[in-house]
Structure 1
Amino acid sequence: MTDPIMSARGSIRTSVAEKAMFLRSWLRDPRLVGAVAPSGRSLAALITSDIQSADDPIIELGPGTGVFTEALLARGVPRKRLVLVEADRAFAYSLGRRFPGVRVLHMDAAHLGQTGVFFGGERASAVVSGIPLLAMPVEKALAILRGAFLRHLRADGALYQFTYLPRCPVPHALLERAGLHAVRIGVAVANLPPAFVYRFQRM
C-alpha cells in the first residue's frame, strides 16, 4: 500500500523541482517561457475541457512542466495519440522521462509548417498551446498559427490558447491574416495569475 505521507512528500519535492526548472528556463529566455511560474491545475482543467474525443490525436505546444499534459492524459487521451512540441531542451528532456510513451519533439513551434504530419495520414483534432503568443513577434506568432492550422489540424480542428490579459491573445488583424476566429471559453480564476482561455478555429 502506498504511504500517503510519503506520496505527499514526493509530490511536494516534484512541485518544487518543477518550479525551479521553470524559473531557470525563464531566466534563460523570458520571451520563450512567458511566465515565472507553471500553470495551475484549474487552468489545465479549463484549457482541456472542450476536448471531447479521447481517441483523436492531440498536439500540445510548449508543455513546459507538463501540467496540461497530465490533464490531457487524465481525460483519456492515449499516450501514442499525443505529441508534445517543446522548444526548451531541459523541459523536453524532463517531459520525455516523465511521460514515457508520449512523443516529445524538441523544436520551435514556429517550424510546425515545415514538418511532416505527426500522425501518419491523420490530422489532429486539437492543439493545446502553452506558448506566450503575446510575447512573440507578430510574424512568429503567425507562423505558429499557420503551421498548426494548415499542416496539422483537420478542417474542424481547434487551437486552445491561454493569456493572462482580459483580451484575445491574437490581434484581430492577425486573426484575419490567418483566416481564423476566436471565442473565449472561460477564465481560470484560481490560477495565479488568473488566466483566460480562447478557442481558435477556421472561419
Structure 2
Amino acid sequence: MTGKATDALLFFRAWLSAPLQVGSVTPSGRALSSLMTSGISADTRTVIELGPGTGVFTDAMLKRGVAESNLILIEYNQRLAREPRLRFPAARTIQMDATQLRKVSLLPSAPVGAILSGLPLLSIPMRKVIAILDGAFSHLRQDGAFYQFTYGLRCPIPRPVLDRLRLRATYVGGTFANVPPAYVYRVSRRKPRARLIGISATADLKWAIYPAEIANYALDDCQT
C-alpha cells in the first residue's frame, strides 16, 4: 500500500471513530497545503499546528523552511496522535484538547509566529471555538497569525466571535483541487481604532459575545 493510501485509510478510520473531531473523510491535498502555508517561512520560527492528522500541512511547512524542532503539533485523536510522533520525531507532539491551550505552557521563551488549524470549527460548539481562539492568541506574538481552512462558503468564525476577541479574518484563497473544495482564512489581531464606551477594560467577559451595536469595534473584520 502506498503512503497516500495508508494516510487515507488512517484518516478514514479516525473519521469513523470520531467524525465531529476529524471533520473530513480524506486528508487535505497539496493545493490546500500550499494555501495554508503560503504565509509561513523559516522566519516564522515556532509554529503550532492544531489537528495535524497525517502530517500533510506539517510536510508543507518543512518544505517552506520551518525547522522540525520549531513545530508543536497538537492532536486530540489518540489514533492520529501516533502518526506525527513517528514521522516528525524532532517536533513536539502533544495529545490534548485544543480548548485547553491557554492553560498550557508550550514554549515561553519563543513566542509563536503562526498557528495552523485543521480543526472542523463549523462542527464545534461556539463556546469551544472561543476557547480555542482565545488560547491560540495567548501564545501568538503580536504580529502572529492563525490560519484556518473551511469547507463552507463563508468564514467559519462568526462575526460576533471576531468582535468579542477583537480579531479580523482575511480571505487568503480557495481551491477546487481539494476534495471537497476548501477555503483558507488568515485571522489576526485588530489594530485599535476606537475606545469601547461603557465597558471596563478589566471586566470579566470570558464567554460574552457582544451584540453588533456594542461590538462595532471595526467594520472590516473579514476582507477579501
TM-score (normalised: structure 2):
0.82
Structure-2 residue corresponding to 1:79: 68
3-state SS, counterpart of residue 184 of structure 1: strand
Alignment partner for residue 180 of structure 2, among 193, 196, 203?
193
Q: Is the 8 A contact 2:134 2:165 kept in 1?
A: yes
Q: Is the 8 A contact 2:44 2:114 kept in 1?
A: no
Structure-2 residue corresponding to 1:183: 170
Structure-1 residue corresponding to 2:93: 104
Query: How far has the Cα of 1:94 moved from its partner?
Result: 1.2
**Correspondence 1:46 to 2:35:** yes
- After the TM superposition, which residues 16-165 of structure 1 pair with which residues of structure 2 at under 5 Å, given as runs? 16-54=5-43, 56-116=45-105, 118-150=106-138, 152-165=139-152
Q: Is the 8 A contact 1:54 1:75 kept in 2?
A: no
Cα root mean square deviation, aligned: 1.1
Cα deviation per residue 1:20-72 (whole Å; 9 max; x = unaligned)? 11111111111100111100011001100012444511110001010000000
Matched AA of 2:116: V
TM-score (normalised: structure 1):
0.90
Matched AA of 2:122: L
Structure-2 residue corresponding to 1:7: none
Matched AA of 1:137: P
Of stretches 135-144 and 50-59 in structure 1, the one that deviates more from structure 2 is 50-59
Structure 2, unpaired ranges of 5+: 191-224
Equivalent residues, number: 190
Query: How far has the Cα of 1:189 moved from its partner?
Result: 2.1
Q: Is the 8 A contact 1:59 1:124 kept in 2?
A: yes
Matched AA of 1:32: Q
Cα distance in 1, alignment partners of residues 47 and 76 from structure 2: 18
Cα deviation per residue 1:119-139 (whole Å; 9 max; x = unaligned)? 232210100110111110000
Cα distance in 2, alignment partners of residues 42 and 122 from structure 1: 30
Of stretches 17-26 and 193-202 in structure 1, the one that deviates more from structure 2 is 17-26
Cα distance in 1, alignment partners of residues 10 and 147 from structure 2: 24
Cα distance in 2, alignment partners of residues 52 and 26 from structure 1: 30
3-state SS, counterpart of residue 158 of structure 1: strand
Query: How far has the Cα of 1:82 moved from its partner?
Result: 0.6
Cα distance in 1, alignment partners of residues 185 and 147 from structure 2: 6
3-state SS, counterpart of residue 168 of structure 1: coil
Matched AA of 2:169: A
Structure-2 residue corresponding to 1:5: none
Q: Is the 8 A contact 1:187 1:195 kept in 2?
A: yes
